[in-house]
Amino acid sequence: MTLVKHIIPLICVSVLISACSSSNQAPRFVVVPPSEAQIESSVKDQVLLTLNAFTPVAGQALPNNTVLDAYEMREYEPIWIKDKTINMSIYKLVDLLEQSYTHGLNPIHYHAGIIKEYLDIKEPTPQQLAEMDVITTIALTSYAHDLSNGRYEPQLIDPNWQLDAPSNNWKDLLYLASATDMVNSLPLLAPRSPQYQVLQKWLVYYQDLAIKEKDIFVSAGVPLSQGDEGPRVAQLRARLVQLGDIRFSTRKVNEEEFDDRLREALIRFQQRHHLSADGAAGSRTIQMLNIPLKERAKQIAYNLERWRWMPSELESNRIWVDLTNYTVDMFLHGERTSMKAVIGKKERKTPVFKGTMTYMVANPTWRVPHRIARENLLPKLQSDPNYLVKHGYKLYSSWSVSAKELDSTKINWSAISEDKLAYRFEQEPDEGNALGQYKFMFPNKNEIYLHDTPAKHLFRENDRAFSSGCVRLESPAEFAQEITKGFKQFDEMNSAMKNGSNTVISLPTYIPVYLVYFTVVPNANGMLEFRNDVYERDALMEEAMGYSPFKASDSI
């Protein structure tokens, strides 16, 4: 209610004066009557009042203090009015604000319509000019921040998302020499990642397509495969054309015949939606084909926002744990190496964050975390008091360094409840150790790390969310070789593996580790992969962002 109470008078003044004009028109007036001193005085009066009218809402990040600091530094000199004339760049800014939907942002947040109403006033008063100047600066600042850092606070949306790398570069915009420089620099604040740029192009494609065309849906029915004929095959072909999996061709085809070309296109669709690529349209494939274009546009918008939460520049050498792809990518020595991974199950999600890998452990001992001890080990011990002995565990009286080793077979486990379990459990290095032969450490509050595993069969699964939060590697020996290649630690690691000793090896160079979560990702061919939202994080994005990423006039 506070926001509405403050903003309505500003809007009403503007609406009563004039209707909106096109942002591409030349300026309708030159400011003559008010003196610059009058305008500056009005700006000083209007800054706090107008800032209060545009108070942040919920998780939205409107940087009010930055606007106030900028005007104070300029001694309340107007930003958009100089030599009694409106700066022409304000019209370019209005265009950029109205086009913010192409980044998955909501144009209504950036007040372009209100600015245009002020620009339509034929003989504005000093107060009206001051209001326009401040509102335009708020719009510029808010868009600069949102384009650079994201509109929303990630941890207010999802506490499990702990990767937020805010940049202050957007603030520099307000201290450039002129409004023209500010506006020209604004587009440069968007993430520079090629993936972001490809996603943005596809967002525009889906937005335009959803406005111009109706979704072509494939009717429910028996699975379709090569050799089938009929109207449902024509629907399938038309949908794959609409989604870009079949390129337009002048070659005549029987639209209702399921031929080789249609099968190949369907396989491409299945691969980029992480479906079983059998070239047949079963119920799951048809379900994915029939997701509306506007829903796909929203998904792309959510992932653009996630990219804005990332650092503006990524290190050339890094480890990239791609949670939705169940892979670990090593960007090292100018090369990229990938391997399969197992991530946390839904009830024990692997969090999103950045760490720094500093050391590895050969033939590690596994200290069982409290949660796993309570939830996994205790029930097994209550069923079989010899479980620890059979599986190579040692038991200690507490977590202190001086804790005494105990005989686990002499403890009445049935009398111990989860909340009273205070013992420390350690599994000795051997073939059955839960960590396998390698552990790769990037110390963090989540106690997450990469490691080997004896459960190799899980890497044959397509969806690999089976762990208790840590990330299991398909080829840990290869990973270890890559991060020690060319250094003495490589020989140290090989020696430890030969003699089976528990050895801590400091890495020759520390490596940044990113654990990331994207549900829409461009593939090597520039097409979009729509991935399974294994942790249901898109639903949290939809609840927080709560809008359709289309320009207001075309919203559907």
Inter-helix orientation angle 260-272/231-242, to 10°: 50
Q: What DSSP line would sit under 519-539, residue for residue?
A: SEEE-TTSPEEE---TT-HHH
Per-residue pLDDT averaged across 188-211, rounded? 95
3-state secondary structure 87-101: CCHHHHHHHHHHCHH
Helix (H, G, I), strand (E, B) or coil at 509: strand
Mean pLDDT of the chain, nearest integer: 88
- CA 460 from chain centre, in angstroms, equals 27
pLDDT reading at 187 higher than 80: yes
Q: Which of 20, 109, 451, 457 is catalytic?
A: 451
Among this protein's residues, is 451 annotated catalytic?
Answer: yes
Instruction: Report the pLDDT averaged over residues 218-226.
Output: 96
Instruction: Answer whether residue 40 shows pLDDT above 90.
Output: no
As a whole-number percent, the residues of the chain with pLDDT over 90 amount to 69
Q: What is the pLDDT of residue 44?
A: 78
**Does 145 qualify as catalytic in the annotation?**
no
Model confidence at 548, pLDDT cuts 50, 70, 90, reads low
Mean pLDDT of 473-485: 95
What mean pLDDT is predicted for residues 93-105?
96
Instruction: Give the Cα separation of 316 and 294 in Å (integer).
Output: 35
Residue 141, helix vs strand vs coil: helix
* Three-state SS letters, 431-458: CCCCCCCEEEECCCCCCCCEECCCCHHH
Inter-residue contact 520 to 531 (CB < 8 Å)? yes
DSSP 207-249: HHHHHHS---PPPP-S-B-TT-BSHHHHHHHHHHHHTTSS---
Greater pLDDT, 150 or 54:
150
pLDDT band at 11 (very low <50, low <70, confident <90, very high): very low
**CATH (residue range 314-365+429-517):** 2.40.440.10
23 pLDDT band, cuts 50/70/90, is: very low
pLDDT of the residue at 63: 60
pLDDT at 288 exceeding the cut of 70: yes
pLDDT top residue among 139 and 8: 139
Supply the pTM of this predicted model: 0.86
Q: What is the pLDDT of residue 125?
A: 87
pLDDT at 22: 39
pLDDT in tens, 486-502: 889 989 999 999 888 99
- The residue type found at 385 is P
Q: Does 429 score more than 70 pLDDT?
A: yes
Active-site hit among 109, 111, 145, 470: 470
What is the CB-side half-sphere exposure of residue 182 using CA atoms within 13 A?
A: 30
The answer to which of 257-271, 415-429, 470-484 has the lowest mean pLDDT is 415-429
Q: How high is the pLDDT of residue 554?
A: 56
Taking only the tens place, the pLDDT of each residue in 316-368 is 999 999 999 999 999 998 999 999 999 999 999 999 999 999 999 999 998 89
More confident residue, 64 or 442: 442
Q: For residues 196-207, give the mean pLDDT.
A: 96
Which stretches does DSSP call E strand in 346-410?
353-362, 366-367, 393-396, 405-406
For position 84, what pLDDT does the model report? 76
**Confidence at 56, pLDDT banded by 50, 70, 90:** low
Q: Which pLDDT band holds residue 20 (cuts at 50, 70, 90)?
A: very low
Task: Name the band, by pLDDT with cuts 50, 70 and 90, for residue 453.
Answer: very high
Percentages (nearest 5) of helix, strand, coil residues in the chain: 45, 15, 40
Q: Domain residue spans in the chain?
A: 2-190, 314-365+429-517, 369-427
pLDDT in tens, 138-166: 999 999 999 999 998 898 899 999 998 88
* Least confident residue range of 2-6, 184-188, 238-242, 549-553: 2-6
Q: Which residues contact 347 (CB under 8 A, 6 or more apart)?
A: none
